[in-house]
Structure 1
């Protein structure tokens, strides 16, 4: 009888807790995307004195960073009604994936009515998608889907097992044929999860392949921070505050040991293990890595993509001379031949001038490349577009 009473009490408590979460936790709908593509944000905060929304859907403002002045998100004031609900409605927004947060009496926090979150370095933000056009590539559509696996590979050169994310195209498990590979590298503050969460890589790949705009391929997303075995919270170091610039990430060690990643993929997956079927691309620091890996292994990749890339080398601690003879190794890469050397940058990107100087050097060398210049700065909105434009150019021969 006592056990029965305890069981009834436990069930009743669980039901009451669930009811409390249901009726008290979600009192407003936010964000609400309207048919005209305007968006309404709501927050139930009757005791708050001020509520702002901040996000990349608002006009950008200039902010100071360790790398100089950069574009940052603006903010807009919500208005409070007699019930204590704060509201703000945007103008019609262009189709895109957007992020946002609330600022309540000076305290920045997420939207309690929206459970969809992403982490960018140490910032956690809500997201929403205004559908249509380019943004439809970022949505999960009713198409065949690929598989994303988290694998660990043994890095003898870096002295640890390291985590890696690998996308295999729809039908890979049922196929017997081999596939080409894109190695896709993250920027500073990122990790092996960044291109999947912030970059929407699996959704972009599924949709482009379904549309017949891209060849089925593997996408390999390693961790470019050589002192980490995995993303913060996913590795042996446990939970800690992520840093924007992890030590030793641009000192040549990653580039010098990148062949271990290639060997792991080619030993464990059905891939075409030749130059014609390998591509490498990356954003910001990942663009820096892609630039230097592709010339350090000059007969390895037929396709190279530099997305808002950091350019010139820092101190080389690899002991392998990764950054030595910069122009000579670029010339070797050019002489070996390649199908595509692709450079993309935003007009207000803080790395714009460095990319302009780099292109002038390539022009002087006679090294062919394709160049795309977009609006905006050093932002994921551009990098998702670059990936969407770059992938259809790969492995078409």
Structure 2
């Protein structure tokens, strides 16, 4: 690729830009028809079988959920001549749709993550884009941010892919000016659309990016699976998620959580896909006691199994990095500079390893 310059976030990129160059954040509501019910069944309006879901599926009422949307400076909903790529950024186990914003802190009275994207766009590092910050719990109790392995709110993390495919992406692409149009299901449309969507997440969101997008295991409480937890954390794997490689060409995992699937599993899912992952970017702090082991395990064997279904694979360690936003902002900064480039830049199937 022409752009291999993975670097630490420049300090000035955390500061605000001039007012006319600042993007805006909008919190919006949307309807969700695919989520985990209080009964632990999957509520869905689609033809999803028990063998795929790993549990019974039922009809149910729709939920109203909220997400945050960053729109770049100059975004005009009435200008139909301009369209945008979309990046989805997923939060961690105790976070919500505000974690990348408020938990990340502010500089110059603006969210750091907004300053980061403002600077990237203003300096011509990336094209203007839309960034979506969802709540990753696809459950009836999606506002519950507590860590309880038996909770349906926790189970909802492992079923976010159905909400993403059938509820959130259609909402975004119906209400914002995006290149991608999920309603175009022709082979040419699918190929085009996935080149204009990217997804990445921190910690639990990093697990979701790997397990649910690339294709790994769902998890549930051992109280309900009747099996043993490999991590002694009360969770064990159930069924493989089908993956969403038909929707996304670029995936990032920042300090991916311990329930992330092994690289051999992820690579095998990629190999069975009809599409090539154009870019995989994984990063972790080398002093991260939470995620450094799962980071390594999710890498091991992935390349061998994926074959020619994987483009450039970035493996970036942050020296003395912990499980925090220093690592995750570096991930967002570098990942956003590598995605949405010309197709020929993703032809190589190589590994780029770097320590920052």
Normalized against structure 2, the TM-score is what? 0.64
How far is the alpha carbon of 1:381 from its aligned partner? 1.3
Q: 1:345 pairs with 279, 284, 307, which one?
A: 284
- Contact persistence 1:215–1:396 (CA under 8 A): no
Is the contact made by 2:267 and 2:302 (CA closer than 8 Å) also made in structure 1?
no
Aligned match of 1:165: 68
Q: Give the secondary structure class of the aligned counterpart of 2:301.
A: helix
Q: Following TM superposition, by how much is the alpha carbon of 1:261 offset from its aligned partner in structure 2, in angstroms?
A: 0.7
1:304 and 2:180 are equivalent in the alignment: no
Q: Distance in 2 between matches of 1:222 and 1:287?
A: 13
The corresponding residue for 1:356 is: 296
Q: Does 1:256 align with 2:162?
A: yes
Tell whether the 8 Å contact from 2:138 to 2:163 is kept in structure 1 after alignment: no
CA distance in 1 between counterparts of 2:258 and 2:11 reads: 29
Instruction: Give the superposition deviation at 1:332.
Output: 2.9
Match for 1:195 among 86, 100, 115? 100
Cα distance in 2 between the residues matched to 1:164 and 1:343: 24
Structure 1 alignment gaps of length 5 or more? 1-132, 233-241, 315-324
Q: Whole-Å Cα distance in 2 between the matches of residues 276 and 250 of structure 1?
A: 30
Shift of the 203–291 alpha-carbon distance from structure 1 to 2, 3 Å rule, reads same
Q: How many residues align?
A: 246
Match of 2:175 in 1: 268
In 2, the alpha carbon distance for the partners of 1:312 and 1:155 equals: 25
Which whole-Å CA distance do the structure 2 matches of 1:328 and 1:364 have between them? 9
Which structure: greater strand fraction? 1
TM-score of the pair, normalised by structure 1: 0.57
Q: From the two aligned structures, give the one with the greater helix fraction.
A: 2
1:141 deviates by 2.1
Unaligned runs of 5+ in 2: 1-8, 36-61, 105-111, 181-192, 215-242, 343-356
2:89 alignment partner in structure 1: 184
Contact 1:168 1:218 in 2 (8 A): yes
Q: Which has the higher contact order (CA 8 A, sep 6+)?
A: 2
Q: Please report the RMSD computed on the Cα atoms of aligned residues, expressed in angstroms.
A: 2.4
Alignment correspondent of 2:183 = none
CA contact (8 A) 2:206 2:256 kept: yes
Following TM superposition, by how much is the alpha carbon of 1:279 offset from its aligned partner in structure 2, in angstroms? 0.1
Q: Does 1:151 align with 2:58?
A: no
Alpha-carbon contact 2:24-2:73 (below 8 Å) kept: yes
Q: How far, CA to CA, are the matches of 2:127 and 2:203 in structure 1?
A: 25
- Report deviation, 1:358: 1.7
Cα distance change of structure 1 residues 313 and 136 upon mapping to structure 2, 3 Å threshold: closer
